[in-house]
Amino acid sequence: MKFSYNWLQSFFSESLPEPEKLAELLTMHSFEVEEVEKKDEDHILAIDILPNRAHDCLSHLGVAKEIAALTDSKLKNPSPGLARLGRESKKLLQVDIQDKSLCPRYTAYVVEGVKIADSPEWIKERLASMNQKPISNIVDITNYIMWELGQPLHAFDFDKINGANMNIRLAKQGEKLETLDGAAHDLGADAIIIEDESRIIDLAGIKGGANTQIDSSTKTIIFQAAIFDAARIRKAAQKLGIKTDAAVRYMHGFDQNLPPQALERAIELLRETNPKVKIVQKIDIYPSPQKSKKIAIDTRYVNSLLGTDISKKKMKQILEKLGFGLTSLTGGFKIKDLGFKFTVDVPAYRLDIDAAQDVIEEIGRIYGYENIKPIAPQGTLAVPRRNEQVFWRSRARDILSGFGFSEVYNYSMIPKSQEEDYAFPLLELTNPISDEFQYLRPWLMHGVLKNIASNKKYFEAIKLFEIGRVFFQEGEDIREEENFIFALTGKENAANGFYEVKGYADEFLKKLGINDFYFDPTFSEEDEKYHGLLLHPARRAIIRADNNFVGFVGEVHPDILSKFGVEGKVYCAEFNFDKISAAAEEEHIYQKPSKYPEVVRDIAVLVPRGTMVVEALNAINSVSGPLLRDIDLFDMFEGENLPEGMKNLAFHLIFQSDKKTLTSQEVDEIMSKITKVLEENLWEVR
Amino acid sequence: MEELDKIKKEINSASDLKELDGIYKKYLGKKGEVALALRSIGDLSEREKKERAPQLQSLKKEIEEEVLKRSSELKSSGAEEALRGEWLDVTAPGKKAELGHLHPLTQIQQKVNEIFSSLGFEIVEGPELETEWYNFDALNIPKDHPSRDIWDTFWMQDKELLLRTHTSPVQIRHMEKHQPPIRIIAPGRVFRHEASDASHDIQFYQLEGLMVDKDMSVANFKAVINEFLSQLFGENVKIRLRPSFFPFVEPGFEVDMYGPKGWMEMLGAGMVHPNVFKAAGYNPVNWQGFAFGIGLDRIAMMKYKIDDIRLLYSGDLRFLKQF
């Protein structure tokens, strides 16, 4: 809220510190002053009133009370005594409240002899400092009181009220009201309204009705200062989309002692232009007055929580400056382990103070956080437990960046249009910010494809990876898991991209200490449903470790690519990283290299095109025995010079013993077994 | 000896191996002068033999040594010459090394994790899809209360779930399962339903910190946060605490750090509210603690002078390859 320096000064006889200095004091001890702006003869302070103090500090009086405590000055109360205001003489109006919870206090004065006029210059000036145009003496007073004391006021033209009864109740569905600004509102079931005998005349706490507004011929008014239920005002204001200054104040609630004070001040101000006005009726419905609060504190706890050594005397001083009352519970004696113990009486306007910690905050901020000296915490020295997920995540990132992949972060939400790419239900937001962010991502692939599409303009070869949470529903369960994806595209990858990405996947898993895994070309019904649609049906594999799904690898389906406008091919591997980090293993056992030479023999087999390399490997392994240390596929060829429908596989077979040098006779024996088993499969050994 | 000096001079003036070979042959070849003299030594008298033989032997040795020396000189200068022919332009660019890039937010998170780990804090994580209880109720943010309006929230369809608006729910989840002393940080992604601009986005990263023990104090918090910010931004940062409000702490404060543009808001913090201890199943009489929350995107933006938060989530390699 904006505050006028001159207005704040009006509460004090002594002069306040310079505006900049005052701003500094407030920032360090109460609320941040965001800006100090010189305006004519005044300075305007933009003060960010904290939400827990909105009930007492969205007013000049509230901030003046803070200033009084900060500068140790005495506050002048602007309200006059009630006695000067005269007695009630008539019974013109009857007010009924249907449900007491709607309106804990209803206070109103019926005032006769009103003459509509311009406000005095000084009031106009104050309103101008709040950027409020002056309207008339009555309307200006309602605004003035709100900014001075924080109490919203409303004025009805008494003669426009039908009948002698006003009733306060909740609106019914379908009821309407035209407010002061001329706008018509459909009132929902949460709005509190006031009605006369025939119609609704006020959207209580938010805006008055046009039907009973003050005009130039108004003679008798009802000045209303009520307290309406905060939660209902908040709901109604949100639903109707009207956030008036009055509504904001009601939402936060305020001191229930305020309404009569506000009315007295209003009458005092009215007498500046209408010296002869008469209060003819006073209404004050206040069935259960606000209870005063007492809180026990002890000096030991105060100093322990703040980490200070503030004396009892100093604490007392601070609290009394803020308007708290203090009673010693220990007769001024110090009690072991507690220090001095007090009961604190909380001022009625401090709705935010409920517990000892709230009182301690008051002591701390006025004492000044800058006066609290840092103290290193004491405790047992312990090495923190390692977070495995964080550790492996960092290891995985290093591996991928070592492979030349760059890391991206995408949004957790994906567009509405992508729903059709999934054969399972996605989790949908109730209030998405736009169609672009409608669902939670079930896989990371879409984000990465979007990145590839947008980077294609600038880069030909792209290698990206991302790690992040994904979300989906499985039966009744909502699942949140961490996934890891890497993807590549580029001219050089056109032919061998699949094997390139598979090679990275292979090395990635091994570097994480996972060795027992394989690439499975068979997709179960479940696999098909969750990620089959995303991949080229003939170029994809499920990666299983210990026979469990840990991820998939493949060429991205051309239909998906064309949706993203990506030309060429994209290859990717996406892992369930929770499963990866659970299987990852840091322990590693060293294998001593053999002292004896290795013998390398090559073998080529002509097999039908559909035969998988793994079948040939399995055949070789079934007869080779322990001396065959490694098999390396160095060529896979089909086409010219080969019979139609066949392909040629060429392997290096590496033989080695760790006990002796192998003779060629020993190797020949194994080779002939291998040749035999391959031929038994009806494959031609070349 | 005069003879020897003359021969040495001749050897050292040989300009290539071929010439040197000619000189060698001239003295020590089959018909070489010195070779012939040595061969004919038997024709001399015993007395002359005694005097002449050692002279010739030594001359032969000296010549051989000198030729060898000269020959290695000539060889190495020839190799040098050949290497000079393999000249490269060292100012031409090197072959591009293809290392990938870690995202700036990853780098900031790793740095922050490292600092807090060295201070004895354990790293814990929690779900991004949260319940209303952990995100609001347990943190002393009541339903239908204006304080809840600070956190604009994404809600899930038909579910009692929301996207967490801060990392503070991790405090509750951790305290439910662990007893003090507690010293944790909880970094992670959070979400806010708000219009995005250069300094706001619908998602960002936060780091929560929590320390609970018998007598944790504001003074302890000041020491820890000062140490953290000093390590992150370099020695001796200047900080200040000023009053602020978060429902889950009391007292609550904002921490500002002094920078080139004056005081900058860095993080929110405070002493854990007794209602939060209660919600986590602690007896608030027994424990005191402080909690804080830092926006990591803002730190990355400050450190790398990034002027638009949305660049972090753009996947633009022209941006990412700079890190």
Q: What is the per-residue DSSP string for A264-323?
A: HHHHHHHTTT-TT-EEEEEEEE-SSPPPPEEEEEEHHHHHHHHT----HHHHHHHHHHTT
Banded model confidence at residue A8, pLDDT cuts 50, 70, 90: very high
Which of A91-95, A108-112, A170-174, B148-152 bottoms out in mean pLDDT, i.e. has the lowest? B148-152
Check whether residue A554 and residue A679 sit in a common domain: no
Check whether residue A433 and residue A566 sit in a common domain: yes
Whether the pLDDT of residue A328 is over 70: the answer is: yes
The alpha carbon of residue A369 is apart from the nearest alpha carbon of chain B, in Å, by 6
Question: Cα(A193)–Cα(A196) distance, rounded to whole angstroms?
Answer: 10
**What are the backbone dihedrals phi and psi of residue B140, each rounded to the nearest 5 degrees, phi first?**
65, 30
Q: What is the pLDDT of residue A149?
A: 95
Q: Is B100 on the interface with A (CB under 8 A)?
A: yes
Q: What is the pLDDT of residue B137?
A: 95
Question: Cα(A465)–Cα(A547) distance, rounded to whole angstroms?
Answer: 25
> Cβ separation of A397 and B219 shorter than 8 Å?
no
Number of neighbours of residue A248 by Cβ within 10 angstroms: 17
Residues of A in contact with B143 (CB under 8 A): none
Whether the pLDDT of residue A84 is over 60: the answer is: no
Check whether residue A7 and residue A145 sit in a common domain: no
Q: A339-358: buried (b, 16+ CB within 10 Å) or exposed (e) per residue?
A: bbbbebbbbbbbbbbebbbb
In this structure, what DSSP letter does residue B197 have? Answer: B
Number of neighbours of residue A28 by Cβ within 10 angstroms: 18
Q: Is B120 on the interface with A (CB under 8 A)?
A: yes
> Cβ separation of A234 and B251 shorter than 8 Å?
no
Confirm whether A78 is domain-assigned. Answer: no
Mean pLDDT of A226-244: 91
Q: Is B146 on the interface with A (CB under 8 A)?
A: yes
B192 as an active site residue: the answer is yes
Residues of A in contact with B320 (CB under 8 A): 406-408
Residues of A in contact with B123 (CB under 8 A): 384, 387, 390
Of A48, A52, A66, A80, the C-alpha closest to A8 is A66
Percentage of residues in chain A having pLDDT higher than 70: 98
Confirm whether A221 is domain-assigned. Answer: yes
Nearest to A30 among B101, B129, B243 (CB): B243
In this prediction the ipTM stands at: 0.88
Check whether residue A242 and residue A95 sit in a common domain: yes
Q: Which amino acid is at A375?
A: I
pTM for this predicted structure: 0.85
The set of long-range contacts for B73-81, using a CB threshold of 8 Å and a minimum separation of 24, is: B74/B14, B74/B16, B74/B17, B74/B20, B75/B17
Check whether residue A49 and residue A129 sit in a common domain: no
Chain B CA closest to residue A237: B146
State the average pLDDT for chain A.
Answer: 92
Chain A CA closest to residue B102: A407
Distance of CA B100 to the CA centre of its chain: 14
> Cβ separation of B128 and A307 shorter than 8 Å?
no
CATH number at residue A366: 3.30.56.10
Residues 217-256, chain B, touching A (beta carbon < 8 A): 217-220, 222-224, 226-227, 240-245, 247, 250-254
Q: Is B262 on the interface with A (CB under 8 A)?
A: no
CATH number at residue A199: 3.50.40.10
Are B135 and B273 contacting, i.e. CB atoms less than 8 angstroms apart?
no
Q: Is B157 on the interface with A (CB under 8 A)?
A: yes
Q: What is the pLDDT of residue A83?
A: 47
Q: What is the pLDDT of residue B1?
A: 54
One of B70, B164, B173, B192 is an active-site residue; which one?
Answer: B192
Residues of B in contact with A50 (CB under 8 A): 243-245
Mean pLDDT of B29-51: 85
Whether the pLDDT of residue B163 is over 90: the answer is: yes
Q: Is A577 helix (H, G, I), strand (E, B) or coil?
A: helix
Q: A668 Cβ partners below 8 Å, 6+ apart? A: none
Whether the pLDDT of residue B186 is over 60: the answer is: yes
Check whether residue A624 and residue A536 sit in a common domain: no
Residues of B in contact with A480 (CB under 8 A): 127-129
Confirm whether A611 is domain-assigned. Answer: yes
Mean pLDDT of A358-376: 96
Residues of A in contact with B218 (CB under 8 A): 305-308, 364, 369, 372
Whether the pLDDT of residue B146 is over 70: the answer is: no
> Cβ separation of A369 and B242 shorter than 8 Å?
yes
Q: Which of B95, B102, B143 to mutate to test the interface with A (most CBs of A within 10 A)?
A: B102
Percentage of residues in chain A having pLDDT higher than 90: 77
Confirm whether A592 is domain-assigned. Answer: no
Question: Cα(A75)–Cα(A241) distance, rounded to whole angstroms?
Answer: 38
Q: A196 Cβ partners below 8 Å, 6+ apart? A: A161, A162, A163, A165, A166, A167, A212
Question: Cα(A544)–Cα(A255) distance, rounded to whole angstroms?
Answer: 66
Q: Which of A52, A306, A464 to mutate to test the interface with B (most CBs of B within 10 A)?
A: A52
Of A558, A552, A542, the C-alpha closest to A572 is A552
One of B190, B249, B276, B300 is an active-site residue; which one?
Answer: B249
Question: Cα(B149)–Cα(A20) distance, rounded to whole angstroms?
Answer: 31
Residue where a domain terminates, one of A28, A48, A71 = A71
Check whether residue A423 and residue A517 sit in a common domain: yes
pLDDT tens digit sequence for B264-318: 999 999 999 999 999 999 999 999 999 999 999 999 999 999 999 999 999 999 9
The pairing of beta strand A406-407 with beta strand A462-474: parallel
> Cβ separation of A431 and B155 shorter than 8 Å?
yes
Q: What is the pLDDT of residue B89?
A: 87
Check whether residue A248 and residue A120 sit in a common domain: yes
Confirm whether A590 is domain-assigned. Answer: no
pLDDT tens digit sequence for A146-158: 999 999 999 999 9
Nearest to A455 among B113, B120, B317 (CB): B317
pLDDT tens digit sequence for B86-109: 888 889 888 887 789 999 999 999
**Residue located via tokens 């007893």:** B179
Q: What is the pLDDT of residue A641?
A: 81
The alpha carbon of residue A343 is apart from the nearest alpha carbon of chain B, in Å, by 18
The set of long-range contacts for B9-18, using a CB threshold of 8 Å and a minimum separation of 24, is: B11/B63, B11/B66, B11/B67, B11/B70, B12/B66, B12/B70, B14/B70, B14/B74, B16/B74, B17/B71, B17/B74, B17/B75
Of A236, A290, A293, A221, the C-alpha closest to A259 is A290
The alpha carbon of residue A239 is apart from the nearest alpha carbon of chain B, in Å, by 13
The alpha carbon of residue A81 is apart from the nearest alpha carbon of chain B, in Å, by 35
Confirm whether A174 is domain-assigned. Answer: yes
Question: Cα(A9)–Cα(B11) distance, rounded to whole angstroms?
Answer: 109
Confirm whether A525 is domain-assigned. Answer: yes
The alpha carbon of residue B93 is apart from the nearest alpha carbon of chain A, in Å, by 19
Residues of A in contact with B227 (CB under 8 A): 376
Q: Which of B114, B129, B255 to mutate to test the interface with A (most CBs of A within 10 A)?
A: B129
B166 as an active site residue: the answer is yes
CATH number at residue A641: 3.30.70.380
Residues 69-98, chain B, touching A (beta carbon < 8 A): 98
Q: What is the pLDDT of residue A300?
A: 93
pLDDT tens digit sequence for A262-318: 999 999 999 999 998 999 999 999 999 989 999 999 999 999 999 999 999 999 999
In this structure, what DSSP letter does residue A481 have? Answer: E
Check whether residue A135 and residue A156 sit in a common domain: yes
Question: Cα(B140)–Cα(A486) distance, rounded to whole angstroms?
Answer: 41
Are A367 and A318 contacting, i.e. CB atoms less than 8 angstroms apart?
yes
Residues of B in contact with A369 (CB under 8 A): 218, 222, 240-243, 253
Q: Which of A303, A363, A375 to mutate to test the interface with B (most CBs of B within 10 A)?
A: A375
Check whether residue A570 and residue A658 sit in a common domain: no
Are B20 and B67 contacting, i.e. CB atoms less than 8 angstroms apart?
yes
Q: What is the pLDDT of residue B82?
A: 82
Nearest to B129 among A370, A455, A480 (CB): A480
Nearest to B223 among A235, A375, A468 (CB): A375
Which residue has better confidence, A528 or A259?
A259
Banded model confidence at residue A86, pLDDT cuts 50, 70, 90: low
pLDDT tens digit sequence for B219-242: 999 999 999 999 999 878 899 999
One of B70, B166, B183, B298 is an active-site residue; which one?
Answer: B166
Are A185 and A179 contacting, i.e. CB atoms less than 8 angstroms apart?
yes
Helices (H), ranges, A74-183? 121-129, 137-149
For chain B, count helices (H), then strands (E).
11, 9
Are A452 and A566 contacting, i.e. CB atoms less than 8 angstroms apart?
yes
Residues of B in contact with A387 (CB under 8 A): 122-125
Question: Cα(A410)–Cα(A487) distance, rounded to whole angstroms?
Answer: 14
Residue where a domain terminates, one of A248, A267, A285 = A285
Which residue has better confidence, B148 or A344?
A344
Residue where a domain terminates, one of A537, A555, A583 = A583
Range of the domain at A483: 388-583
Confirm whether A317 is domain-assigned. Answer: yes
Check whether residue A134 and residue A281 sit in a common domain: yes
Q: How many domains does chain A have?
A: 5
Are A622 and A631 contacting, i.e. CB atoms less than 8 angstroms apart?
no
Check whether residue A58 and residue A93 sit in a common domain: no
Are B100 and A466 contacting, i.e. CB atoms less than 8 angstroms apart?
no
How many interface pairs between A and B have CB atoms less than 8 angstroms apart?
Answer: 228
**Residue located via tokens 């232009």:** A273
**What are the backbone dihedrals phi and psi of residue B251, each rounded to the nearest 5 degrees, phi first?**
-65, 155
Question: Cα(B105)–Cα(A437) distance, rounded to whole angstroms?
Answer: 22
Question: Cα(A389)–Cα(A393) distance, rounded to whole angstroms?
Answer: 6
Helices (H), ranges, A555-606? 558-564, 577-583
